[in-house]
Amino acid sequence: MAKIKPSKGAPYARILGVGGYRPTRVVPNEVILETIDSSDEWIRSRSGIETRHWANDEETVAAMSVEASGKAIADAGISAEQIGGVIVSTVSHFKQTPAVATEIADKLGTNKAAAFDISAGCAGFGYGLTLAKGMIVEGSAEYVLVIGVERLSDLTDLEDRATAFLFGDGAGAVVVGPAQEPAIGPTVWGSEGDKSETIKQTVPWTDYRSGEVAKFPAITQEGQAVFRWAVFEMAKVAKEALDAAGISTEDLDVFIPHQANERIIDSMVKTLKLPESVTVARDVRTTGNTSAASIPLAMERLLATGEAKSGDTALVIGFGAGLVYAATVVTLP
């Protein structure tokens, strides 16, 4: 019986560079109030959101991804030709096939990199990061690009008072590459499909195509159920990720949760009993909920503003539709 030669990858993997792209149009709460009965004070108190970015016709999922990825590649100090894998997490690319990752890989100038999309909602960046780590350690790629990108404005019902103010557009990307010491911890991830109705698309595309419904499908959610699940269950997952990495809250420099809602973020900080010294990402205030893009966008902003620095230890956790979740501890690039 022939023996398969073992893979020869790097001993560990790490994030080497990060980049982000936010659409040029900034949308204040006043615009949202044109279609729902609410107030700026109510939106801010319920979500922390003051503004969000909405893409124009030219700012496609692919175009935003290319912009963010170019910055991440430059930040990592490598060339696009060295990228061996492109993983794109999105729920708002409206072509079933081909994967938008293949278009992005080509436009960036990679050398026929493996390219594929994943659909894991707001946990998608964590899923992609875990896959990239495995590819590098296994040896199938030296550098992998992980992109979280959304045009959620295309899936927003502007007449839905519960969700109209939540969503924004944008792209965040990181380059993951080889490392000589651990810099991406074990991932604690999973799904709770019995709760899938709490965040979902209103109707299948086929219902819209057949004319059974006249309104374009949108994202809807049961706000209170999502809030309780995120605060109590995801705090447990975050703690498991810290334990798996051998890190305590006292060792933590930065906390980058999915930017869903500032009340959720505040409640998680309280439940986890994070020290005041820990920098907490609050990109949701001016970017809104960008699903798969929210964590890399928040990471990019913290590093750009100096609120976080290279080498900091960060806990990242994403959670959302599915319901799915993924948490890990990383060393910032």
- Which residues is 19 bridged to in the sheet? 173
* Residue 258 a catalytic site member: yes
**Contact assessment for residue 298 and residue 19, using Cβ atoms and an 8 Å cutoff:** no
For 45-86, give the secondary structure using H, E and C.
HHHCCCEEEECCCCCCHHHHHHHHHHHHHHHHCCCHHHEEEE
Angle at CA 200, nearest 5°, toward 197 and 202? 105
Of the residues 29, 53, 93, 122, only one is catalytic, namely 122
- Rounding to the nearest 10 degrees, give the CA dihedral for residues 205, 210, 213, 214: 100
**Contact assessment for residue 164 and residue 221, using Cβ atoms and an 8 Å cutoff:** no
Of the residues 53, 93, 261, 289, only one is catalytic, namely 289
122 vs 69, 167, 180, 302, CA distance in Å? 19, 12, 30, 19
* Residue 122 a catalytic site member: yes
Tokens of 164: 């109209």
Of the residues 29, 93, 258, 261, only one is catalytic, namely 258
Q: Which of 295, 303, 304, 37 is nearest to 146 (CA)?
A: 295
Task: Provide the annotated active-site residues.
Answer: 122, 258, 289
